Structures are given as C-alpha cells and as structure tokens.
Amino acid sequence: MSYEPPRPARRLLLTPEDNEAPARTRRLRRLGLGERPEPALDAFADRIAGLIGAAYAMVNFIGEERQFFAGLCAPGAWPTTKADGTRPHVDRCLPRDHGFCPHVVVRRKALVLDDVCDYPRFACNPVVDEYGIRSYLGAPFMDSTGIVLGTVCAVDAEPRRWGKAGLETIKSMAADLGAEIALREEIPEL
C-alpha cells in the first residue's frame, strides 16, 4: 500500500454565489441588454480605456451562466500565446467563473487588483493564464430598481497601480452608465 498525498486544489478561486442572478437576467432581457454588441457601449469602453490609460476596457453584463461584453475596447489580440502558438481570440462572451467581474457584482462595490498574482484568491483565475490579465479595476453599475446589471472594468497585461484616481474614475463611469441606462428606460429611442 502506498500513500498518495492529496492533490492541491487546481483553482483557489471560487466564483461567489449570486442570488440576484435570476432577477438580473430577467431585468436585462426586459431592457434588451446583454445579448449583442452595442456600438454606444463600445464607445463607452473606449472612453474608459482612454481615461484610465488601460490596454483593455469592457462594459460587462453578468447573467446566470455567462458574462457578455456588450461594450469592448480590445485593440488587437490578448497578450498571451496559447500552447499552439496562437493568441486567444478576443471574445465577447466568457463563462461566469472566468474573470473578476462576477465578484464585483456580488460584492456590489468596486474591486482594485494592482497585480492579480498578489492575491491567491484571484491568481488562479482562468483569465490570468488564458488571456494574460495581470491587473484589474472594476465597478458595478445598477439600474433604476437597484439591481446590479454588470460592471465597467479595465484590465491590463502588466501589473499597475490604478491609484485613487483610477478607482474614482471607474466608479464615476459606472454611475454614468447606470444613469444612461435609466435614461434609456425613460426615452427608449436613446
């Protein structure tokens, strides 16, 4: 008989339970959000990247099983190279357990990770290895009913200090988007 030591956990990160996900998903459907790319939200993501000086930025709607980047600023491919020598495609859809935005939605407050590898809870997330993400800055945005619909976020392939200015900017952008969505409800042609 031989002793086999227990295998270390492959991933330390557990995506938090999201009790609001069903209500959020219904709300997103009613608002017509989170199912297709939107040029206005792409422009919003471009503005986030420009204001913060980030390589990539997103407007991310979080559903029950997946996340959808209805707004995306991702010039070129992600910085990592896969085993077959190709670079990962910048897709608008990720499983719910990828990335950091699901944590922001459940926490209902901003998250700043200057270097995701400094946080064992986040360092093993699939986006670190698959996409080369090393820093994250995100904030939740809400609709007029108080449901968190998703996040606005910025990511980079290098560790970086987002600082207080970055945090205040991302929180302000999230509030602006929440107000814009509320205005869309009042004036649907927007």
Reported pTM: 0.85
3-state DSSP helix/strand/coil % of the chain, to nearest 5:
35, 20, 45
Query: pLDDT tens digits, the chain, 190 residues: what are they?
Result: 444 444 444 444 477 889 999 999 999 999 999 999 999 999 999 999 999 999 899 999 999 999 999 999 987 655 555 555 555 556 788 888 888 999 999 999 999 999 999 998 888 888 888 878 899 999 999 998 899 999 999 999 899 999 999 999 999 999 999 999 988 877 766 5
Polymer length in residues for the chain = 190
- Is residue 10 in some structural domain? no
Task: Say how far apart CA 141 and CA 138 lie, in whole Å.
Answer: 10
- Is residue 38 in some structural domain? yes
- DSSP code per residue over 83-100: TTSPPPP--SEEETTSSS
Task: Say how far apart CA 140 and CA 138 lie, in whole Å.
Answer: 7
- Residue 16 · residue 103 · CB < 8 Å: yes
User: Domain total for the chain?
Assistant: 1
Kindly report the CATH number assigned to the domain that includes residue 129: 3.30.450.40
Residue-number span of the structural domain to which 114 is assigned: 21-186
Q: Phi/psi of residue 38, each to 5°?
A: -130, 120
- Is residue 13 in some structural domain? no
